[in-house]
Amino acid sequence: MARKRKNWVVPAGMQPTEFDLRILSIQEKGYIVPTRQLVKTPEQIEGIRRAGEINTAILDMLEEKVREGMTTGEIDRLVAAFTERHGAVCAPLNYEGFPKHCCTSINEVVCHGIPSDEEELWDGDILNVDVTTIKDGYYADASRMFCIGHVEPKVKRLVDCARECLEIGMNAAQPWHFVGEIGKAIEKHARKDGFSVVRDLAGHGTGTQFHEDPEVDHYDTHEKGMLLVPGMVFTIEPMINMGTYEVFIDEEDGWTVVTEDEKPSAQWEHTFVMTDNGLEILTH
């Protein structure tokens, strides 16, 4: 059964504002619009911003620490200790059974790699560290790529292209436009270098929960998707593959997502708030 579409509703007894009327007019044309809960208040946005500051500081700290020869288990402990010192919580820990504080994804691992003391970083590896921080009940989510030692030029280009795709997706997201424009712009850029975009995973709303609407696909779905309006908070996190876009989940741990052809994958992620003038990054 298809999920029932939720609507924008003006609370009983309240006069609709110009903002309400604009959304309602688009809704009446049959387009998907956000619910009121997806439009954050200024106070909520400030709370998410504070979580984002800690989240960014974690990744900045890792820039100084990540090196050849260390294990992903060490990275996880660094993330856990830093987060605790700053009075925050690591959202991934125990989320639907996930056993660690962050995700560490090396080479052909697309995302959701589980940190381990048995997994060592080698010269030529590319690593994605994905961190989500909860501060005072607010969530911020970002990931960053790390190149270990000498990385082959083609692989380094993949890493750079993934970052460019994030920036291009950010610029494509405009107020009163639709989420589908993000994936269309990202896939167009990735294809220029002969790369593909993962289709089985997407960006997402966040802020007061780990995952909220809208779903942010990073490829051209040929659909408009949800209307984007000021106050919405969501991630863009394109996963760009050197080979096929197809992936599989490791059967042993039930989490680790790997490229079907086991060629490298790269990803960058930020949490954004939509403003009247476009997106503002909350996780620099």
Peptide bond into 264 cis (omega under 30): no
Distance, in Å, from the CA atom of 24 to the CA atom of 15, rounded to the nearest integer, reads 13
What pLDDT score does 157 carry? Answer: 98
Q: Is residue 131 helix, strand or coil?
A: strand
In this prediction, residue 4 carries a pLDDT of 60
Mean pLDDT calculated for residue range 68-73: 98
pLDDT exceeds 50 at position 2: no
For the segment 38-52, the average pLDDT, to the nearest whole number, is: 98
Domain residue limits, the chain: 38-277
Does the pLDDT at position 1 exceed 90?
no
- The answer to whether the beta carbons of residues 34 and 79 sit under 8 Å apart is no
- Count of beta carbons in the 10 Å neighbourhood of residue 20: 16
pLDDT (0 to 100) of residue 50: 98
**121-143: pLDDT as tens digits:** 999 999 999 999 999 999 999 99
Say if residue 110's pLDDT is above 80: yes
Residues 6+ apart with CB under 8 A from 216: 179, 182, 183, 202, 203, 204, 234, 235, 236, 237
Note the CATH number of domain 38-277: 3.90.230.10
**Mean model confidence pLDDT for the chain:** 97
Residue 250 has pLDDT above 50, yes or no: yes
